[in-house]
């Protein structure tokens, strides 16, 4: 009799551990950085540095108003800063728009972490992939297979995932991706 109780208690404990493990996996599966790539260069927001794009031969350009400025890999960025409107180009094509972030120290842009990646130009969309799937082949059904629990508003042509750490927006028109943005959520103060 005592042995049956021990077996049942052990089975119940194992079932609890299994349930908690499955719940943790389910929660973590939605709020994560999915890899994107541009022309074969993989980017994981919140991890990949701008050095990966410089090493792959991209020209990095920043836009302010109607003016643009090429940014050298050694350009120093201020500490605790968030820079947007940064583009990675090859030739004359703006392939991807980026935002980069710095933390406690001033660093060269090549060491800054990529915080946000957005594909919206025809050239960029043609050379981009999401979680190993070319954007040209990314359908809503395929996206649902890759991102569990993604919210879809078919009327608006929008699929989105908003987690505590990461956000994903994918816009569709006539079954084709027209824009994709994957970003790590940072607490940014735009007032300064």
Gap between the Cα atoms of 46 and 87, Å rounded:
17
Give a yes or no: residue 62 inside a domain. yes
* Residue corresponding to tokens 């816009």: 171
Question: Can you tell me the distance from the alpha carbon of 1 to that of 79, in angstroms, rounded to the nearest whole number?
Answer: 66
3-state SS record for 36-94: EEECCEEECCCCCECHHHHHCCCEEEEEECCEEEECCCCCEECCCCEEEEEEEEECCEE
Assess if residue 16 is contained within a domain.
Answer: no
How many domains does the chain fold into? 1
With tokens 């915080």, the residue in question is 115
**Tokens representing residue 163 in the block:** 């987690």
Range of the domain at 78: 35-184
Residue 58 within a domain: yes
Instruction: Please check whether residue 47 lies inside any domain of the structure.
Output: yes
Query: Among 110, 56, 107, which residue's Cα sits nearest to residue 86?
Result: 110
- Residue 13: inside a domain, yes or no? no
- Domain membership of residue 177 (yes or no) is yes
* Domain assignment of residue 27, yes or no: no
pTM: 0.81
Digitized pLDDT (tens) for each residue of the chain, 192 residues in all: 444 433 333 333 333 333 333 333 344 446 899 999 999 999 999 999 999 999 999 999 998 778 889 999 999 999 999 999 999 999 888 899 999 999 999 999 999 999 999 999 999 999 999 999 999 999 999 999 999 889 999 899 999 999 999 999 999 999 899 999 999 999 866 555
Residue given tokens 């933390």 in the structure block: 103
């Amino acid at each position: 009799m005592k042995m049956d109780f021990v077996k049942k208690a052990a089975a119940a404990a194992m079932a609890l551990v299994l349930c908690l493990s499955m719940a943790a996996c389910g929660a973590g599966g939605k709020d994560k950085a999915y890899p994107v790539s541009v022309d074969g260069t993989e980017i994981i927001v919140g991890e990949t540095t701008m050095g990966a794009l410089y090493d792959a031969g991209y020209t990095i350009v920043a836009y302010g108003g109607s003016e643009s400025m090429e940014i050298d890999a050694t350009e120093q960025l201020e500490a605790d800063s968030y820079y947007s409107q940064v583009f990675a180009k090859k030739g004359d094509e703006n392939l991807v728009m980026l935002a980069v972030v710095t933390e406690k120290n001033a660093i060269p842009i090549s060491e800054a972490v990529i915080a946000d990646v957005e594909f919206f130009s025809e050239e960029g969309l043609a050379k981009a992939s999401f979680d190993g799937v070319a954007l040209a082949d990314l359908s809503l059904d395929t996206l649902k297979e890759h991102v569990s629990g993604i919210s879809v508003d078919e009327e608006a042509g929008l699929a989105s995932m908003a987690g505590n750490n990461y956000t994903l927006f994918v816009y569709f028109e006539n079954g084709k991706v027209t824009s994709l943005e994957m970003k790590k959520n940072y607490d940014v103060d735009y007032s300064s």
